[in-house]
Structure 1
Amino acid sequence: MKRQFYFQDDRSNKFWTIELVGNESITTHGRVGATPRQTRKQFATAEDARLGIEKQIAAKVKKGYVQGIAPEYAKPDWTSMAMSDEVFWRIISLFNWKKTGEDDAVIEPAVEALAEMSVDDIKRFEDILTEKLHALDTEAHAREIGEEAYQFDRYFSPDWFLYVRCVVVANGPSLYESVLADPTEMPKDIEFESLLTVASTAFERKTGQDFDHVPELSYESFRNQAGWPNSEKT
C-alpha cells in the first residue's frame, strides 16, 4: 500500500510517497502541483525492503513530514503580520541553507518577506535580533567558540565573537535556547555575519533609503555588562 506524506512551512509545500512492491521500494516526491520525481530501490528480500521503508519514513517524520493528504496551502501574508518573537523566528526559518557559501542567497527569502512588512516591523526585527545577540554576549559563551575563544592572555576578536553568535540565531530557536542555557554548545570556528544585514537590506529595498535605526541595546561584543562582570571593556 502506498503511504503518502506532506511537508508545509512558510516557504515549502511538498509531498512524498513510498510504496513496497515485492523487494522494491518506490518513492515519489516534489512540490505539490509539480511533476513528481520517482526513485526505485531494490532490496535482497521483501523483509529488507520493509525495514528499509520504515527507516525512510522515520527519517521523513523527523524532518517534519506528516502522513496524509496535504491540506490546502496558503502562502504567508507577511503584510498582515505584526513583528513578534514568533514572527521573527518565522522570518529566520526562511533562510535557504541549500545556498550555503552564497550568504546573500541564503538570506534572500528572509529579506524578501521582511521587506513586505511595515517599516516599524523591520525596525522591530532589528530590535529582537539585537536582544538575542546581546543575551549571548557573555564571557562563558566567548570561551566556547573554538580556536578564537576568549582567553585573558591573548588577542580576542570582538567581531569574530559577534559573527559566531550570529550563527546561533541564524539556526533557529531550538539551537538558540540550547546555547543560551549551555555555552558549551556554542558553534566552533564558523560565522554568519550576513545575518546582521537582513533588516537593513529589507528596509533599503522597501524605502530606497539608508537604514539608520539604532536599537536600545547593542549586539557588539562586551556590551552585555552582566555577561562580562570581570571585564574592563564593558
Structure 2
Amino acid sequence: MILLFQSPKGGVGTSTVAANIALVLAERGVSVTAIDLTGQGALALCLGDGSGAVGQIDGGATVVIAGVHMVSPGSDRSPAEILATIESHDGEDSVVVVDVAAGDRRTLDLLLPAAALRLCVLTPDPATLAALPLVYRDAQPTRDDRTFFLLNRVDDRLRLGRDIAAMLRGLLGDRLFGTIRRDEAVGEALAMMETLASFAPASAALGDFRAVAERLVADRDDATQPQRGIA
C-alpha cells in the first residue's frame, strides 16, 4: 500500500504526521518504507534519526530508523525513476509512506494513480481558511476518490481553533480520515531526537496516530480479502 502525505500549504506538520504514522505502523509489525520527496530531510529527523545517516547514503540506498526503512531516492532521479523506486518497495504486506512537498502538484499527480490513499494534512487555523478553495477542490470525490484528510494540532480548548475544526469537519464529511490533538510532546520528542512512543508513551497525540494506523491497517486488510459471491 502506497500512502502519499501532502498538503496544499506548508507548516501544517505533514512530515511529522507521516513519520509518526510510519512509526506506529512499524510498531504493529507492518513492514514500512518511508520516502522523503521534500528535499528537506525532515522525515528522517521526525523518525528520530539524529545521526545524519540518511543524508550520507547514495540515492536508492536504505537505512533503518526505529524499525522503518528509510529510502533516499536521490535529488538527481527523474520522476519516472522515483516512481519506480516507490513501486519497488510496495508489496501485499507492506506500506510505503511518501512525504511530498507542500503544493507540489506535479509530483502528486504523477504518484497518485499508484497510491492507495493521499492523506492531506490540515490544521484548524486562519491560514487553512485561506486555502479552502484548494481544500474544497480536493475534497470532491468526483475529482479524486483517493484523497482523504487529517486534521492536525486540534485543540478544542481554543475557541477559534474549535470553530474552524468544526467547520472543516462539516466540509470534509466522510473524507475526514482522522484527527490528531495538539500535544507539546510531539515537538519535544523531535527536539530530543526520540520517537514519540519512547519519549512520551502516554501522549494524547500518540493515541491519535495509533487510531489512524488502526484504520489504515483495517482498510488494507479489507482491500486484500477475497470477494465472496452471494450464496
TM-score scaled by structure 1?
0.23
Higher relative contact order (CA 8 A, sep 6+): 2
The structure with the largest alpha-carbon Rg is 1
Give the number of the structure whose residues are more often strand, by fraction. 2
